[in-house]
Structure 1
Amino acid sequence: MPQVESIKKGSKLVFRKPEAEDGSEIWKLIRRCKPLDENSMYCNLLQCDHFSDTCVLVERDGQAVGWISGYIAPSEPQTFFVWQVAVAPEARGLGLGKRMLRHLIDRDEAAECTQLKTTITESNEASWALFRSFARSIGGELTDEAHFHEDDHFDGHAATEHMVTITFAQEARAAA
């Protein structure tokens, strides 16, 4: 069931699981959120279709303004992995990224998760700020280490990605 939040008089945000028909709109949203990596439209379609339980789409007045793709790692069922976070330029400053993360870890599908992981390049200040703020807001501990290396994994075509781990505080998890 979609979750609705008011943000301004007459304006509401709807947080919901994506459907396959949302794939192209999500693809368009990501293209507007530079410098995010653009996946193929087919990839976004599959995320909506196969991973809807661990992804969230946020709409305002029927327009896609927020998106997080994620999944529960098959090799680490206690880990919620965040693949990508996108917030439309016109929706920035509303705390939407942090609200989407909270929405996802509060879902029944994430009930057994004790940590959240994502990868971030060293230069991505906006992502670092989001995940540090999120960790503080839930009383979690954030750690990181270089994981996918520029030369070893990206053949020099992309910056090293740091694996960021937020371990949930037991008290915060019990209260959720």
Structure 2
Amino acid sequence: MQLAAQADGTPNKANDSLVLRPPRPEDGARVWQLVHETASLDDNSMYCNLLQCSHFAGTCAIAELNGAVAGWVSGYVPPEAPDTLFIWQVCVAEHARGRGLARQLIGSVLTRPACENVSNLQSTITDGNAASWALFGSLAKSLGATLGRQPHFEREGHFGGQYDTEHLVTIGPFSKGGLPVRNAA
């Protein structure tokens, strides 16, 4: 997709149409394609994305920019922790970065009925993922909550030496007054 450009060649963000909404099953293939095109993310099966877009639609969100899928967040409320939203994956297309879409997507999910009792946010992040550390640090600040970190899935003990250690990041407890939301559906 090509965005309209200003005279200096930079994208004209002011004229873009941005919609944040829960996913629908027919979004599964487009979500899979977006994640697949983002080299830094692990691919899930398309079937997994279809399940996220149907069974977990209440805790997942899509950003459409000018009608095209430009952002995705998947999450769920663990059965043993009904006060926690676990963010599984965050993806923003390269052409849509710099707009705060990831924060807005997470904020839109937190305002939904499925997250009515949520006062904590969790995810796992590798040491080298600067973008995710910045995102979750920013979320903690806007929510007025602390950010905790501890090794969770370890390189040797869980990944057989194949992947870097994932640190469990916990933000909370928080109230939802500082949520970054725009166009939440």
Query: Can you list the C-alpha shifts for 1:9-50, whole angstroms capped at 9, x where unaligned?
Result: 431111111011100000010112221111111110111011
Q: Do the aligned partners of residues 175 and 150 (structure 1) sit closer, same or farther apart at CA in structure 2, a change above 3 Å counting?
A: closer
* CA distance in 2: counterparts of 1:101 and 1:55, whole angstroms: 8
Cα distance in structure 1, aligned partners of 2:146 and 2:178: 17
1:173 equivalent among 170, 173, 176: 176
Q: Does 1:85 align with 2:104?
A: no
Give the match for residue 165 of structure 2: 160
TM-score (norm 1): 0.91
- With normalisation by structure 2, the TM-score equals 0.87
Would the aligned equivalents of 1:68 and 1:83 in 2 still touch at CA under 8 Å? Answer: yes
Output aligned runs, 1:19-38, within 5 Å. 19-38=24-43
Structure with larger RCO (C-alpha < 8 A, sep 6+): 2
Give 1:8 shift: 3.4
SS of residue matched to 2:117 = coil
Q: CA deviation at 1:168?
A: 3.4
Sequence identity, in percent?
45
The structure with the greater share of residues assigned to strand is 1
Give the letter for the 1:27 counterpart: W
Q: Distance in 2 between matches of 1:85 and 1:173?
A: 20
Q: Counterpart in 2 of 1:3? A: none
Alpha-carbon RMSD = 1.5
Aligned residues: 168
Within the candidate set 23, 40, 44, 2:45 is matched to 40
Q: Which runs of 5+ in 1 are unaligned?
A: 1-6
2:74 paired residue number: 69
